[in-house]
Chain A
Amino acid sequence: MNLSILIAQWNYVIVIALMMIGFYTVIARGNLIKKMVGLNIFQTSVFMLYISMGKIQDGTAPILSDDPTMIYSNPLPHVLILTAIVVGVATTAVGYALIIRIQESFDTIEEDEITEALNEEALAERLAEQH
């Protein structure tokens, strides 16, 4: 791919890098809290993607002033991201609530240990099926 563009667009490149750091954490890490943190980083970086596209050359915050020559950045991405942030925190809250419950009933928040417990239950069930 054409590197000169990537350099010119380095801002986006970094945002993407951040996104992928978050994404990797979500899918790779087995600790549920770590997953949620990864999700937070992932989503925040997506927000940054949106905000970057709203920015305009020497623009200012989209709050109308009397100066007619003023250039404003595009407010629409801001609005979308406001909504997205709220949605994000809502998800986070539910996620953490679930984590607490999982801790309570499995006494761990490590994915592999939970899977282990589940497999044991499944095995016990299979045996019950046979009898």
Chain B
Amino acid sequence: MNFLLHAPILQIVVPLLVAPLIILLRNRHIAWGLAMASTLATFLFTLHLFLTVNETGEAIIYELGNWPAPIGIVYVIDVANAYVLPLIAGVSAIATFAARGLVNAEIDIRDHSLFYAAWMLTIAGMLGQVATGDAFNIFVFLEISSLSAYALVAIGAGNDRRALPAAFNYLILGTIGATFYVIGVGLLYMVTGTLNLVDIAQRLPAIGDTHTGFAALAFISLGMFLKMALFPLHFWLVPAYSYAPSVVSALMAATATKVSVYVLIRILFGVFGVDFPGMDSLLGVVLLGLGVAGALIGTVAAITETDLKRLFAQSSIAQLGYMAIGLGLATKSGLAATFINLFNHALIKGAIFLALGAIAAQLGRVTMSNIQGAAKQIPMTIAAILFGGMALIGLPLTAGFISKLYLLRAILEEGAWVVAVFTVMSSILALIYVWKIIEVAYLNDRPKGAPVLTETPAQWISAWVLVAATIYFGVQAEIIVDAAFSAADLFIGGNQ
């Protein structure tokens, strides 16, 4: 039999079933080996999907249990999620590689197999949400990834007790978000009688302008806003990211919120469609407004932070603001901008948090004061943070530049000068906190008696793979931009 034929499902099933296998074997070395192998395999599967889908241009439909939609659950791999899947799988693979060292440093040796099991479940859950074509199946996989994510956060970097309330709040808000989503899906099911996204999309227009439809839209959006930590529903994110074990922060900062953003896009544009009654106000007012506010407030908050994990967590809020802005424009180029941003930001934040992790593994926490002059002792690690920061600001020849370019272009195409000014403002404010780090790490001298930092290629290579990707996609953005636009085209055809 041809495995590639089943790539759409294997990409999920492999990591999903590796988790129990890890538990069965209960050996931390085998555990990491399995995790590494399966994430790599998953990455290859997703890559294959990406290539085939972009080659043929039409979606792959995989009927689980051979039951056709809407009777059964189907996976639909189209240009949109074929674009997101390799990103998640790839970043996961790199993070898993880094996990080898970071987990040894930060997590009790007796918990490793449990850790890797939860780790794999998170990854599988995220991929599942993206790949599935069934509204309720999204919820199930959302819970798989969330549940294990709560636990991963709760472990806490170096058993930091503050990770516990962080994880609990994350759990409460995450569950509320998921429940809201379920309510929304329930209402949709009530008026359409089906759970298959495509089927719902086809039947919604017939229902026309109903309060029920609007309520469904509102609840699903709210749920996803919570999950993607859109300002002002972002309060769970910062503690969760900053107290979690470094490698967990890296994985989540890079992928978790992106998945929710994608699901939101899929539901808003793929199911309801821009012409759905009430949509224009949701996008043009709510998403755009919250996006701008988040972009500004997130950056300002980042400037005030002295803990680097918190700082970059705050900047994630800002970045999510940018993505929201892209969606709020409700144009093809706006959506494409969000897709580009989604991809690049995943790379950038992954790189930064992995680098931070390499330091946190030695210092416990990474703060402005305890990385003074670190550049001389761990040049590669600090350089990775430096490059990441430059990409966050959006300097040329980094992927961040491309994101900003297309976002601003999309904004200006709509003539939304005010939004453009705010966006630019927040990106220039980003310069301040990045510069603070550079000055502390490069220009200051390491104080006497400060612990000596060390680095080995094994510690920085994974961060640098992502940095290299950031630079490569800043210089060769063609692939990403094209893919993003074709993805956007799937949801908003026609206009420009």
Residues on A lying within 8 angstroms of B by beta carbon are 19, 23, 26-27, 32, 35, 39, 42-43, 46, 49-50, 53, 76-77, 80, 83-84, 87, 90-91, 94-95, 98-99, 101-102, 105-106, 114-115, 118, 121, 125-126, 128-129
Most buried by B among A19, A27, A105, A115: A105
Residues in chain A near residue B368, CB distance under 8 A:
129
The one of A32, A35, A46 in contact with B186, judged by C-beta atoms closer than 8 angstroms, is A46
Q: In the complex the two chains form, is B143's CB within 8 Å of A49's CB? A: no
Q: B91 interface residue, CB < 8 Å from A?
A: no
Contacts of A118 in B (CB 8 A): 162, 165
Alpha-carbon distance A53/B183, docked complex (angstroms): 12
Residues of chain A lying within 8 A (CB to CB) of residue B164: 98, 101-102, 105-106
Which one of B4-12, B166-174, B385-393 is at the A interface? B166-174
**Which residues from chain B contact A53 at a C-beta distance below 8 Å?**
186, 189-190
- Total number of A-B contacts with CB less than 8 angstroms? 79
Q: A42-B179, A101-B154 are in contact. Are A94 and B165 (CB under 8 A)?
A: no
Given contacts A53-B186, A129-B368, contact A91 B143 (CB under 8 A): yes
- Beyond A80-B136, A94-B147, whether A102 also contacts B186 by CB under 8 A is no
CB-nearest residue of chain B relative to A84?
A: B182
- B168 interface neighbour in A77, A98, A126, Cβ under 8 Å: A98
B161 at the interface (CB under 8 A from A): yes
Min Cβ gap A29→B in Å is 11
CB-CB under 8 A from A101, the residues of chain B are: 154, 164
Residue in B closest to A35 when the chains form the complex, CB atoms: B172
B14 beta carbon closer than 8 Å to chain A: no
Residues of chain B with a CB closer than 8 A to A23's CB:
176
What secondary structure prevails in chain B residues at the interface with A? helix
B175 to chain A, nearest CB (A): 5
Task: List A contacts of B195 (CB < 8 A).
Answer: 76, 80
20 A-B pairs besides A50-B186, A129-B368 with CB distance below 8 A are A19-B183, A39-B175, A42-B179, A46-B179, A46-B182, A46-B186, A49-B183, A49-B186, A53-B189, A76-B195, A77-B189, A83-B140, A90-B147, A91-B147, A94-B147, A94-B151, A98-B167, A98-B171, A102-B165, A106-B165
Q: Taking CB as reference atom, which chain A residue is nearest B142?
A: A87
CB distance from A72 to the nearest CB of B (A): 15
Measured between alpha carbons, how far is A32 from B171 in the docked complex, in Å? 11
Q: Are A95 and B168 in contact (CB under 8 A)?
A: yes
* Residues of chain A with a CB closer than 8 A to B281's CB: none
Q: Are B183 and A114 in contact (CB under 8 A)?
A: no
Q: Is there an interface contact between A99 and B140, defined as CB atoms closer than 8 Å?
A: no
B236 interfacial contact with A, CB 8 Å: no
What are the 10 tightest A-B residue pairs by CB atom distance, in nearest-first order? A105-B161, A98-B168, A87-B143, A102-B164, A53-B190, A101-B164, A129-B306, A114-B165, A129-B369, A91-B175
Q: Which of B171, B182, B369 contacts A91 (CB under 8 A)? A: B171
Q: Chain B residues near A32 (CB, 8 Å)?
A: 168
Q: How far is the CB of B287 from chain A (nearest CB, A)?
A: 23
Alpha-carbon separation in the docked complex, A95 to B168 (Å): 7
Min CB gap A22→B, angstroms: 9
* Distance of B148 from chain A, by nearest CB (Å): 9
* Contact assessment for B162 and A121 in the assembled complex, using a CB-CB cutoff below 8 Å: yes
In the bound assembly, the distance between CA atoms of A80 and B186 in angstroms comes to 10
Q: Which of B106-163 contact A (CB under 8 A)?
A: 136, 139-140, 143, 147, 150-151, 154, 161-162
How far apart sit A94 and B147, CA to CA, in the bound complex (Å)?
8
